[in-house]
Chain A
Amino acid sequence: MFEQSIILSAIRDAIDWVLGLVGQDISILPLPVQVVLCGLIAAGGLMGAIAFAVLIYVWMERRIAGRMQARRGPNRVGPYGLLQTVADTFKLLRKEDIIPTGANRILFAFAPMLVLAGVVAAFAAIPISWDADKGEPIMIADIDLGIFLITAIVATEVIGVIMAGWASNNKWSLYGAMREAAQVVSYEIPLGLSLLVPVLIVGDLSLGAATEDQLGGNWLIWRNPFMWAVFFIFYVAGLANCKRAPFDLPEAESELVAGFHTEYSGLRFSFFFMEEYASMTLISAIGAIYFFGAGDLFGLQGSSSLIMFGVLLFKILVSIFVMMWIRWTLPRLRIDQVMTLGYKVLTPIAFFLLLGVTVWDLYDLNDKLWELFSRS
Chain B
Amino acid sequence: MTLPGMPWPLPWPFDRSYMQLALVAGLAVGASAPLIGTFLVQKRMSLMGDGIGHVAVAGIGAGLLFGTAPIWTALVVATIAALAIERLRANGTTSGDLALAMMFYGGIAAGVVMASRATGNTNLTPYLFGSIITTDATDALVVVGLGALVVACITFTHRALLAVVLDEASARVSGIPVGMLNAMLAALTAVTVVAAMRVVGVLLVAALMVLPVASSRVLARSFHATMIGAVLVGIASVVVGLTVARAWDLAPGGTIVLVTLAIFGLAAVRRGLRAGPDPVGSLLDGPH
A binds B: no
Chain A interface (Cβ < 8 Å from any Cβ of B): none
Chain B interface (Cβ < 8 Å from any Cβ of A): none
